[in-house]
Amino acid sequence: MKIRQAKFSSTSWDAISETPGFLPEKASLVLAFGERKLLEKTDPHEYLKEQYPNAQIIINSTSGEIIGEKVYDDTIVVTAIEFEKTTVRTVQFDISNHKESYAVGEKLARALDEETLLAIILISDGGVVNGSELIEASNRWLSHPVPVIGGLAGDAGRFERTLVGANQNPVSGKVVGIGLYGTDLKIGHGTMGGWDVFGPEREVTKSVYNELYQIDDRDALDLYKDYLGRYAEGLPGTALLFPLSIRISPDSQPLVRTILSINETTKSMTFAGDIPEGACVRFMRANLDRLVEASALAAQNALTQLGKTPELAILISCVGRKLVLGQRTEEEVEVASDIFGNQLYMTGFYSYGEIAPAGPASPGELHNQTMTITILSEQ
């Protein structure tokens, strides 16, 4: 595997780093993560196609860009990958509202499914998709289980629209699947939140998709406000400080769900993923030190699973973590780099939802407020 990385800011492209012997015409995959308004102004696909004429080029908007140990805003970061023994194939589908999510996930899985499929990188519009259903269908319709990793595109903290594109300039309403095929690519993944849970575990007694109406037969918003105390006055903004831990079934791993909006009329809360009836939930609160430590744990888990020296790390974290960590945001990237050492390339972005298996033998799932790390090696 050979890699070249570059960054666009203001009006120019700057080289970041490059593996000796890298040949642009042999690059098979290009990942470009950029600020939404900058992507709309620069139309980067034409430039990237000239640079890497034979590559599958994936571009999406972000809530912050990661390259090396740095976190940037208002840039486009590009990682071009020359696989030596791995085949890359991409598919792209339209999505106009969240009700289409399961059908799109099924089509994506069927289109990429092959005996030699090793993993899927899934990049989706972050505004109109139900990430839970998209990933559930992607897992269900594969003929054999493979890790599904990736994220929902971001739009800084604006939540206006997000952009995704495969082999075109990115636009709203797209879902892209990247299939990796072969036998020589090794993959490790880890995901951690680092939030503190508090209060008893409670049952979801009324919900519809990602809208939560009642917990333990009480209006969800009223109960949530009781727990927030003085922070309730800052809703919905302060909701980023107090996400929800959810277990879909008694034996499932806990997931984190971010509150996107509240409804004072129906006393309900809308989340970034499904909150099914019968699920068990607990309230969570921010602990900055534990958030940073969680990134190191995710990196260590990925490295343990890989079992060899990684060549590329893809970090996808949540916009909520970035807003909470503030000036400490870069620390969660630095601690991951410390785990890996300086022998690999790192890229990634801040998202509206992270996609990764919860454990070594788990299928891909939608996470919120986590750092998810995928490492790859062909060595």
Question: How many angstroms separate the CA atoms of 16 and 262, rounded?
Answer: 42
Q: Give the domain ranges of the chain.
A: 2-191+290-377, 196-284
Instruction: Name the residue type at position 357.
Output: P
Residue 41: its pLDDT value, please? Answer: 94
- With beta carbons less than 8 A apart as the criterion, state whether 246 and 169 touch: no
Residue 158: its pLDDT value, please? Answer: 84
pTM of the model: 0.92
Residue 154: its pLDDT value, please? Answer: 95
For 280, the enclosing helix (H) or strand (E) is strand 280-285
Residues 160-179 pLDDT 10s: 899 999 999 999 999 999 99
Question: How many angstroms separate the CA atoms of 178 and 90, rounded?
Answer: 4
Residue 363: its pLDDT value, please? Answer: 85
Question: In terms of C-beta density within 10 A (0-12 exposed, 13-18 middle, 19 or more buried), how is residue 202 classed?
Answer: middle
Which residues of the chain, if any, have pLDDT below 70? none
- With beta carbons less than 8 A apart as the criterion, state whether 304 and 367 touch: no
Task: Return all residues near 239 (Cβ < 8 A) that are at least 6 apart.
Answer: 258, 259, 262, 269
Task: Return all residues near 333 (Cβ < 8 A) that are at least 6 apart.
Answer: 66, 69, 70, 71, 295, 315, 346
Token reading at 23:
């040949």
Residue 254: its pLDDT value, please? Answer: 86
Find tokens 């939802």 and name the residue. Answer: 353
Residues 340-359 pLDDT 10s: 987 899 999 999 999 999 87
Residues 199-240 pLDDT 10s: 899 999 999 988 999 999 999 999 999 988 888 988 877 887
Residue 157: its pLDDT value, please? Answer: 82
- With beta carbons less than 8 A apart as the criterion, state whether 24 and 80 touch: yes
Question: How many angstroms separate the CA atoms of 109 and 158, rounded?
Answer: 31
Triad 182, 94, 271: Cα angle to 5°: 95
For 189, the enclosing helix (H) or strand (E) is strand 186-192
- Tell me which residue of 313, 316, 319 sits closest to 376, measured CA to CA: 313
Token reading at 239:
């909701």
Residue 282: its pLDDT value, please? Answer: 94
- Tell me which residue of 191, 211, 210 sits closest to 315, measured CA to CA: 191
